Structure 1
Amino acid sequence: MTDPFLDSLATALAGQAATALGAAGKAALTKVQELIRRRSERDPETKAALEAAEQSGDQPRITALAERLDQVCAEDAEFAEQLRAEGADVHNAISATEGGVVNLNHGQVKNLVQAREINGGITFN
């Protein structure tokens, strides 16, 4: 089983999540594609998996791409870090449209509630 983050990136790279991505997600996807293509210049297995997923977009090829990315990330920590940074907006957009909740907070806050649904009140003391 691959990392859900890599599954969502592979799905987006295969063109199966275009409607889920807003402007930020599409820009992030372009950066992810460029990062993987640069890596693929010296990695024929990754290049083949990416091209197969982009051409077909069927689930077995998407899974194969996610598995290849998982393997590459395990072998190359720097690439994994770049991929996670560049792909965060893509993953968040896809996760949110699949019924998930994506809560982000940047900076300091005094009171913060992150929830999908709240029944009743909230009190801060």
Structure 2
Amino acid sequence: MFEEVVPAIASALSAQGSELLVAGSRSAFKSLCEIIRARFGHGTPEADSLTAALENPGDAERIEAFARYLTRVMVEDPGFARQALAAWHGATASGSAEGSAVVNNFSGQAEQVVQARTIRGGIKF
């Protein structure tokens, strides 16, 4: 059920690494990390796996171990799973652009979607 999204969550959090370990960090990923940390508790194997993944962003074994714990807890606790997935979707949908960059987010179903930034002249559909 969570086989596709949990590895992405584990990899993304691990890639954020030290930023998520810093108390002052404010980001959607920090919020997701805090939700997971609160559920895992302190001094548990689950919490240790999260810390290990954050402290070793390139270590696939530690990321996979964290993903296994996260999957297990999500299966056992559907309320936590909903909360974590909502935070994940919020984190991945909250892209930001700097300068002249553009971030496009689309969620839902549609037969046709058009996203554009600057259009000069007319458009015919």
What's the CA shift string for 1:12-40, capped at 9, x where partnerless?
Answer: 111269xxxxxxxx722111111011112
Larger radius of gyration between Structure 1 and Structure 2: 2
Which TM-score applies when normalising by structure 1? 0.63
Q: 1:113 is matched by which residue type in structure 2?
A: Q
Give the alignment's Cα RMSD to 1 decimal. 3.5
- 8 Å Cα contact 2:16-2:54 kept in structure 1: no
Q: Quote the residue 1:36 is aligned against.
A: 36
Q: How many residues align?
A: 100
Gaps of 5+ in 2: 18-25, 96-104, 115-124
Tell me the percent identity. Answer: 27
Which TM-score applies when normalising by structure 2? 0.63
- 8 Å Cα contact 1:8-1:91 kept in structure 2: no
- 8 Å Cα contact 1:49-1:61 kept in structure 2: yes
Misfit runs of 4+, over 4 Å: 91-94
Deviation of the 1:103 alpha carbon: 3.6
Q: 1:72 is matched by which residue type in structure 2?
A: V
Whichever structure has more helix as a proportion of its residues is: 1
Q: Quote the residue 1:87 is aligned against.
A: 88
Q: Quote the residue 1:119 is aligned against.
A: none
User: What is the alpha-carbon distance in structure 1 between the residues aligned to residue 82 and residue 42 of structure 2?
Assistant: 18
Whether 1:56 aligns to 2:59 is: no
Which protein, 1 or 2, shows the higher relative CO under an 8 Å CA cutoff with sep ≥ 6? Answer: 1
